Structure 1
Amino acid sequence: MTVILGALLPIFAVIGVGWGLRRSNLMPSEMWPAVSRLAYVGLSPALLFSVISRADFQNITVAPAILAAVLGFLSMGGLVIALKPLIKTDGPAFTSVFQGSVRWNGLVILALATLSYGLDGEVLVSLIMVATIPVVNVMAVTVLTVWGAHEKTPDIKAVLWRIISNPLILGCIAGAIANLLNLFQTGPIADVLALMGRAALPLILLAVGAGLDFTALNARRGLLALTAFNKLIIAPLVFGGIAWALGVRGEALAIVVLVGASPGAASAYVLAQQLGGDRRLSAGDVTATTLLSFVTLPVAVWIATQIG
C-alpha cells in the first residue's frame, strides 16, 4: 500500500494544481478543452507508441491479464443491465449509471502503474487500453442508443468511426507494428515521440483537475452513490476475481485490480451529451470517483497484493 500511496500523492497533487489553475482563472475555463484535446489527440498516442514500440514482450506475459480486464468490463456491463429493473430512474439517467459503472480513466491508471510498477506496468496498462477501449465504447454506445433521450436518430456510424479511429488505439497499434518490425526504437523519430509522450500524462492530470465539477455532486445523489459504489467497490472485486480465476498473480493481478478500481473518465460526459444521457450525473460521477479513488485505490491494490 505504501508504494501505491507514494505514487498517488504526486498524481493527485497535479490534479489539484489543475483544479486550482481553473478556479483561480490563471487558465480560464475556455482554455482547458484545447489542453485536453492536445494531450489526448497529440501527446498520448506518442506516449503509447513509444512505450509499446520499445517493450520487450519476450519477458512479459500479458494475455491472461488482458483477457481478465476485457471480461471484467463485460461482466460489469452485464451486471448493471441485470440490475436495471431495480434502478428506479429514467432512461437517460440509467445510461449515465451504466457509463459510470463501466468506463475507466486509462491515462490516470497508466500514470499510476508507471510510477508504481515501472516499465512492465506501463506496457501492461497500455495493452489493456487498446484491448478494452473499443469494448467499453461499444457497450456505452449501445446502451445510450437504447435508453438515451434522442430528438433525432443518433448517427451511430459517426460514433463507431470515432471509436475505430480513437487516437489511443491507433498509437498502440502503430507501436505494436513498430515493435514487430523493429522500427523507430532508437534515433531522432523515437526521441521526438518519447519527448512528446513525457508531456502527455502531466497535461492529462491537469485537465482532470480542471474538469472537476463539485456542483454536480448534488445531482441525483442516490444514483451517484450507486454508481460510485459499483465503480470503486464492486468493479475491483469483479476484476480481481476474474484475474485470479485465470491464474493472474503478483503485480499483474494488482494492475488488473487497478484498472477495475479506476475513477470514471470525462469521455462519459462527452458521450452523454452526444447521445442523450444525463450529462449532469456523468459529471458528478467523474468528480466523485476521482476524489474517492484516493482512498479506494490503495485499499484495492493492498487486498490484491495480499491474495496474489
Structure 2
Amino acid sequence: MPAIVDIVLPIFALMAVGYHAGRTHVLTNTMVQGLSRYVTHYALPALLFTSVSRADLPDRLEWGYLLSFYLSALAVFVIGAIGWLAVSRRPSELASVGLAGCYANIGAIGVPLVLGAYGSAGAVPVMLLLTLQSPLLITIATVLAEAGRADGRRLVAALFGVFRATLTSPAVAAIGIGLAVNIWAWSLPPVVPTTTGLIGQSLLPCSSFAIGASFALGTVRGSVGPAVVLTVLKLVVHPALTWVLALHVFGIPQPWAGIAVTMAALPIGMTAYLFAERNNLSQGPVALALLMSTVCSPVSITLAAKFAGE
C-alpha cells in the first residue's frame, strides 16, 4: 500500500486550490453547488459501481468491523450530547451536536482515500460504512430532535424521509446495481465500465475542489470552544475508540481493521451540518467544527493509519 500521506496530501492540496478559486471569485456559490451535485449524483455513484462490481466479495461479513466503527460512533454521540447538555443546558441541541461528533465524511474523502490506498480490497468495507452511516446515525439524531418537539406525527414523517432518501440516493442505487453485476457475473458492454470508470475518476479532484471552494464562499461563524471539542471528538476520540475495539476487542484482520480506524479519523461530514441547518440546531459550532476538522484531518488520518498497523 502506498504511504498514506502520499494519498492524503493531494486531497488537501486540491482543497487549497478550490479555496483559492472561491476566494478569487473564479467560482460562484451556484457553480460550487452544481459541482457538488455532480459529485453526489454522478462521480461517487460511478466510482462505487465500478469498485463494487469488480470487488472480491468476502465469504463472510466481518461483523467486528461494523461494531468497531459504529459502537465507537455511538459512544462519541453520547459523550458529545451529554457534554453539551452539561455546559449549555439546551437539550434541544443534543441531536445536532452528538451527530457532528461522530458523522464522518466518507463519501467525498473516505471513498477515494480507501480505494486509492487499498484498491479493490477496500471496496466492500467502505461500501458498508457509506451505506449504513446515514440510516443509523441520522435516524438516531432525527428521533432525538423530533422527540424534543413532542410531535409523534412529525417524528414518523421525518423517519420516513430519512429512509426514503437513503434508499433512493444515487450512491445506494449504484452499490445495489454493482452488487448485482458482481454476484450474478453479468457481462456488460465495454462502454459501460469504461464510462463509469472515467466518471468515477473525477470524484477525488471534483469533491476536494468543491469542499475547498465552499469553505471560501461560505460564512462560518460559531464559538471556538465548542467547535474545538467537536473536532477532538471526531478526530481523536472516535478513531481511538475504534482502534481499541477493532484491534484489541474484536481482533479483526487487515485491511478491515486499518480501514475502520482510518475512516473513524475522517473529518465531520457535510451531512451533519445540513442536519443542524435543517433543524436550526447549533449551526454555528457545527459549521466551524466541520472546517476545523477538515483542516486538521491530514494529521488524524495519517496517525490513524499508522496506529492501525498499516
Q: TM-score when scaled to structure 2?
A: 0.87
Q: How does 1:64-103 map to 2 (within 5 A)?
A: 64-91=64-91, 93-103=93-103
- Relative distance call for 1:43 and 1:149 in structure 2 (3 A) is farther
Cross-structure match for 1:56: 56
1:38 is the counterpart of 2:42: no
How big is each residue's C-alpha offset from its partner over 1:123-143, in whole Å with a ceiling of 9 and x where there is no partner? 421232123332122122223
Whole-angstrom distance in 2 between the partners of 1:53 and 1:168: 13
Deviation at 1:58, TM superposition (A): 4.5
Deviation at 1:235, TM superposition (A): 0.3
* Higher alpha-carbon deviation: 55-64 or 30-39: 55-64
Cross-structure match for 2:117: 116
Deviation at 1:105, TM superposition (A): 0.4
Alpha-carbon contact 1:217-1:288 (below 8 Å) kept: no
Cross-structure match for 2:262: 258
- Relative distance call for 1:175 and 1:195 in structure 2 (3 A) is same
Deviation at 1:15, TM superposition (A): 1.1
Structure 1: state its 5+ residue gaps: none
Alpha-carbon contact 1:257-1:301 (below 8 Å) kept: yes
Cross-structure match for 1:240: 243
**Match among 264, 272, 286 for residue 282 of structure 1:** 286
Alpha-carbon contact 2:238-2:265 (below 8 Å) kept: yes
RMSD: 2.8
Please give the secondary structure, in 2, of the residue aligned with 1:305.
Answer: coil
Please give the secondary structure, in 1, of the residue aligned with 2:186.
Answer: coil
Q: Aligned partner of 2:28: which letter? A: P
**Match among 289, 295, 301 for residue 297 of structure 1:** 301
- Relative distance call for 1:2 and 1:176 in structure 2 (3 A) is closer
Q: How many residues align?
A: 305
Q: How does 1:85-164 map to 2 (within 5 A)?
A: 85-91=85-91, 93-107=93-107, 108-147=109-148, 153=154, 155-156=157-158, 157-164=160-167
Alpha-carbon contact 1:96-1:281 (below 8 Å) kept: no
Deviation at 1:218, TM superposition (A): 5.0
Q: Aligned partner of 1:200: which letter? A: L
Structure 2: state its 5+ residue gaps: none
Whole-angstrom distance in 1 between the partners of 2:166 and 2:87: 28
Q: Aligned partner of 1:105: which letter? A: N
Alpha-carbon contact 1:105-1:264 (below 8 Å) kept: yes
Whole-angstrom distance in 2 between the partners of 1:122 and 1:264: 21
Alpha-carbon contact 2:54-2:120 (below 8 Å) kept: no
Cross-structure match for 2:174: 171
Alpha-carbon contact 1:216-1:284 (below 8 Å) kept: no
Whole-angstrom distance in 2 between the partners of 1:241 and 1:121: 21
Whole-angstrom distance in 1 between the partners of 2:2 and 2:45: 30
Whole-angstrom distance in 2 between the partners of 1:264 and 1:133: 13
Deviation at 1:106, TM superposition (A): 0.5
Cross-structure match for 1:23: 23
Alpha-carbon contact 1:97-1:224 (below 8 Å) kept: no
**Match among 193, 199, 203 for residue 200 of structure 1:** 203
Q: Aligned partner of 2:255: which letter? A: E
Q: Aligned partner of 1:16: which letter? A: A
Q: Aligned partner of 2:297: which letter? A: S
* Higher alpha-carbon deviation: 67-76 or 226-235: 67-76
Whole-angstrom distance in 1 between the partners of 2:170 and 2:285: 26
Whole-angstrom distance in 2 between the partners of 1:278 and 1:26: 31
Cross-structure match for 1:211: 214
